[in-house]
Amino acid sequence: MEKRFNLQKTGEKRYSLDVRGSVCPYPQLLTVRALESLSSGDILEVILDNPPSVRDIPPALKEKGYEVSDVSSVDKGTWKIVVQALK
């Protein structure tokens, strides 16, 4: 099943990807897909509600060479991962 790819520009070189409601592996796949579509130095904020993804996505992105600058709770059951795109 194809999950939505809802990438939105939120500011100069800043983007947001909302993957709430998606379960593994979709949040990670959609995050990588979004990062690949951005320019070097762009910042992506990923909003998610899947605890295994919060645990697994940051190390997977770091392994691919992306810089994860923040992983934080937005509210109960929702998190934000902030990562910089590279080319």
The residues assigned a catalytic role are 24
Distance in angstroms (rounded) separating the CA atoms of residues 50 and 24: 8
